[in-house]
Chain A
C-alpha cells in the first residue's frame, strides 16, 4: 500500500466527491463525513509520503505503470519541494471543511452537497497540480481547480459573488490558455511533456534554451501562472472573488489557490528550466524582481485603502504574492531567495487560512464586514480574536511566528543578490502590515462604541451573559461555535509551530532543492 500514497492523496477526495454525488444528493448527512474522511485520508497519505521522502529521497509514481521510456505515461513525483506543501494543502482544506460544519438545527440548503462536491474537487485539483511530474497534467488539474473554484465563488446567494466569479472565470481562462500555449511550444521544440525529461534535454543541448520558441514558451507559461496567482497588474479578479464568496469557500480558496500557482512557477523554474540556466539570464530575473516590488508596494497601498476586513486581507495576498515571486527570482548564489519562497508558500497558506477562518467567523456570527465594526471584538470573541491576532502578527513578521522566518530568508536572499529595492519593499510592506493590524487591534480592543451584535441568534455557544459590562451596552461574550473556533486556533498554533521548527523545515527544503537540481541534471 505504501507505494500508492502519491495516487491515494488525490484519489481519496475524488472518491469522496463521487460518494457525495451518488448518495449525498438525497441524504445530506453523507456530505460532511465523506468530506472529512476523504481529506483525513489525504492528510495521512501526505504525511506518510513526506516521511518517505525524508528517509528515501524523491518518490516517483507512474500512472498505469508506464515507466520506460520516460514520458510515455504520466509521472507523479513527490520530493522535498512539494511534499510539505501537500501536507499544508491537506491541513488547510481539512480546517476549512471543519469550519463549514453546520450546527445542529441550522437550516441546510439544497445546494450543500454541491458545495462539498466542488470543495473536494478543488482539493483534488490542488493535490494533483502539486504532485504532478508532467507539464500537461498540470494544465488538466489547473482546469479542475479553476472550474471548481468558479463554482465555489458563485455558489453564494448574493449577486455580487456571481459577477466576481464571472470576472474570475475570464481571467482564469486566459491564464490557463497562456499556460497551455506555453506547454504546446515546449512540446513542439522538445518533444516531451515530462518535466524531468525536458530538463535533461535542455541540459544535453546547451543552446536549446536560448531559442525563440523555448523563450516564448517560458514567457507564456509564466504569464499564465502569474494571472492565476494574481501578480500585481493581473490581480483584478482576486479581491472580489475571495471577499464575496461564502466563508467556507474563501477559507479554502484564498489560502491555497494562489500559493499552489506560486509553487507551479517555482517547479517550472527549478525542475523544468533549471536554476542554472535562469541564472544565465540575470537581467531577466531583475525585471521580474521589479515586477514583484511593484506588486508588493501596490498590494500594501491597496490594503491601506480598504475598509472591509476581507478586502484588506485579499490585498495583503496580492502583496504576499509579490514577496514570493520576487524571492524566487532573486537569483542569489546561496539560493536563499527561492528557499524563502518555498517556505513562505507554506507559511502564507497557513497565515491566510488562519485570518480568513477568523474573518469568516466574525462575519458569520457577529455580522462584521467593515473594519470599524470590529470594536469590542476582544470582549465578544476573546479566543477567536486571539487567533486573528496571531495570524496578524505572522503577516507582520513577528517572531516566533513563521512570518518572521520567511521574511528573514527572503531578505537574506535579497541582500546576497544585492536587490536593495526588494529588501526595502519587504521591510516597508511589513511596516504597512504592522500599521494595518495594529489599527485593527486597537479598534478591536479599545474600540469605544461596540455596535450591537448582528448575530442571527443561531450558533452562539450560550455561555450566558458574561460579567463584562461596557459603558453603554452590556457586551455578551459569544464565541463562535467550537467547529469554527477550533480551526482558527489550530491554524494559529501551526503558525507558531512552523516558525519554531523553521530550521529543520528549511533544511529539508534546501536538501530537496539541491538534490532535485542534481538528480534531474545527472539523470
Chain B
C-alpha cells in the first residue's frame, strides 16, 4: 500500500512537471514553430528541408520514408538492431536447450500438448479460416513493405504483419505445424539476414569511398541513371531488410514466450 502511494505521488509529480512546461510550447500545428520554421542562429529547419527537397534528393514521394530510411537511416538501422537484440535476449533467457538442462523433460504425449484446440470441432472453422487468411495477410504485408515509398507503410509495419500471419497460423492450428514451415533455424538466420541486408547496403558505398549508408553511390549497382533513383531503390532494399528481421523476431518471441522456451505444447 505504501509503495502504491509513493508510486502515485512520483507519477503525479512527474506529470505536473511535464505539464508545467507545456504552457511554453508552440501552438499545435503552428507553421512558425521551431521544428517547422527553424530557429534564428541555428541551421535551417530540417523538416522544411525534408519537405522541400526530398523528392529532388531521392525521388521518393513519401517524405516520412525518406527521412526514416535515408536521411536518418542510421537511427533506423539501430532501431532494427534494437528489435534483434530484444529477440536475442528473450531467446537467451527463455529458450530451453537440451544440452543445458541435462535430463530433458520427456515430451508428454505430443498429440495432446500440441493441439490444445485440437480435437474439438471449432478448429475446423477457425483453422480453415486462418489458413485462408494467412496468405492474404502476407500478400498485403508485402504490398505494405513495397509501397512504403508512396503511402504509409514500410518495413516495420509490413514485417509486423508478416510475423502476425505466422502467429495466427500457430494460434489457430498448432505451433509444431507452423514450425515445420518456419523453423527455428530459419527464423534465427533470417533475423540476422535482415540486418545484413540493411548494414550491407550501407557498407557498399564505403567500398567506393563514400560514407556509410550513402546509397547514392549505388547507382552503378542498380543501373539507374542518377543517384536519386539509386537512393530510392536502396530504400526499398533497406525496408525489406527491416521487414525480414521484424517478421522473424515477432515469430521468435511468440514461439518462445508462449511455450516458455520449449517450442512444444504451449497455447
Q: Which residues of A contact B (CB under 8 A)?
A: 4, 7, 11, 14-15, 18, 21-22, 25, 61-66, 69-74, 109-111, 114-115, 117-118, 121, 124, 128, 136-137, 140-141, 143-144, 147-148, 150-151, 154-155, 157, 162, 165, 181, 185, 187-194, 197-198, 200-201, 203-205, 208, 211-213, 215-217, 219-220
Q: Which residues of B contact A141 (CB under 8 A)?
A: 78
**Contact of B85 with A111 in the complex, beta carbons under 8 Å:** no
Question: Nearest 4 A-B pairs (CB), nearest first?
Answer: A204-B41, A151-B89, A191-B34, A21-B192
Q: Which residues of A contact B215 (CB under 8 A)?
A: 64
User: Taking the complex as formed, is B177 at the interface, i.e. its CB lies under 8 A from any CB of chain A?
Assistant: no
Q: Which residues of A contact B136 (CB under 8 A)?
A: none
Chain B's nearest CB lies how many Å from the CB of A462?
Answer: 27
Quick one: given A72-B49, A110-B100, A147-B85, are A63 and B35 in contact (CB under 8 Å)? no
8 Å CB contact of B92 from A154, A200, A219: A154
8 Å CB contact of B85 from A118, A191, A193, A217: A118
Q: Which residues of A contact B182 (CB under 8 A)?
A: none
User: Taking the complex as formed, is B86 at the interface, i.e. its CB lies under 8 A from any CB of chain A?
Assistant: yes
Q: Which residues of B contact A62 (CB under 8 A)?
A: 211
8 Å CB contact of B17 from A111, A137, A148, A219: A219
User: Taking the complex as formed, is B199 at the interface, i.e. its CB lies under 8 A from any CB of chain A?
Assistant: yes
Binds A, one of B22-30, B123-131, B161-169: B22-30
Quick one: given A14-B81, A64-B213, A121-B81, are A192 and B193 in contact (CB under 8 Å)? no
- Bound-complex Cα distance A205 to B92 (A): 50
Q: Can you name 13 A-B pairs with beta carbons within 8 Å?
A: A11-B203, A14-B81, A18-B199, A25-B189, A121-B88, A136-B75, A140-B75, A140-B82, A147-B82, A151-B85, A188-B34, A189-B26, A216-B18
Q: Which residues of B contact A187 (CB under 8 A)?
A: 35
Binds A, one of B66-74, B107-115, B137-145, B146-154: B66-74
* Apart from A118-B85, A154-B92, 12 more pairs, CB < 8 Å: A62-B211, A66-B71, A72-B50, A117-B88, A137-B75, A137-B78, A140-B78, A148-B89, A154-B89, A157-B100, A190-B34, A197-B43
8 Å CB contact of A188 from B26, B50, B199: B26
Quick one: given A154-B89, A190-B39, are A211 and B24 in contact (CB under 8 Å)? yes
8 Å CB contact of A64 from B44, B99, B188, B212: B212
A to B contact number (C-beta, < 8 Å): 199
User: Taking the complex as formed, is B9 at the interface, i.e. its CB lies under 8 A from any CB of chain A?
Assistant: no
User: How many B residues have CB within 8 A of the partner chain?
Assistant: 66
Main secondary structure of the interface of B (DSSP, over half): helix
Q: Which residues of B contact A124 (CB under 8 A)?
A: 81
User: Taking the complex as formed, is B6 at the interface, i.e. its CB lies under 8 A from any CB of chain A?
Assistant: no
Main secondary structure of the interface of A (DSSP, over half): helix
- Bound-complex Cα distance A258 to B100 (A): 32
Q: Which residues of A contact B42 (CB under 8 A)?
A: 71, 190-192, 197-198, 200-201, 204
8 Å CB contact of B73 from A18, A64, A109, A150: A64
- Bound-complex Cα distance A162 to B93 (A): 8
**Contact of B86 with A147 in the complex, beta carbons under 8 Å:** yes
**Contact of B43 with A70 in the complex, beta carbons under 8 Å:** yes
User: Taking the complex as formed, is B119 at the interface, i.e. its CB lies under 8 A from any CB of chain A?
Assistant: no
**Contact of A194 with B43 in the complex, beta carbons under 8 Å:** yes
**Contact of A65 with B214 in the complex, beta carbons under 8 Å:** yes
Chain B's nearest CB lies how many Å from the CB of A245?
Answer: 12
**Contact of A213 with B46 in the complex, beta carbons under 8 Å:** no
- Bound-complex Cα distance A201 to B39 (A): 7
- Bound-complex Cα distance A40 to B181 (A): 40
Quick one: given A18-B196, A110-B100, are A69 and B82 in contact (CB under 8 Å)? no
Which partner residue on chain A sits nearest B53 by CB separation? Answer: A72
Which partner residue on chain B sits nearest A215 by CB separation? Answer: B21
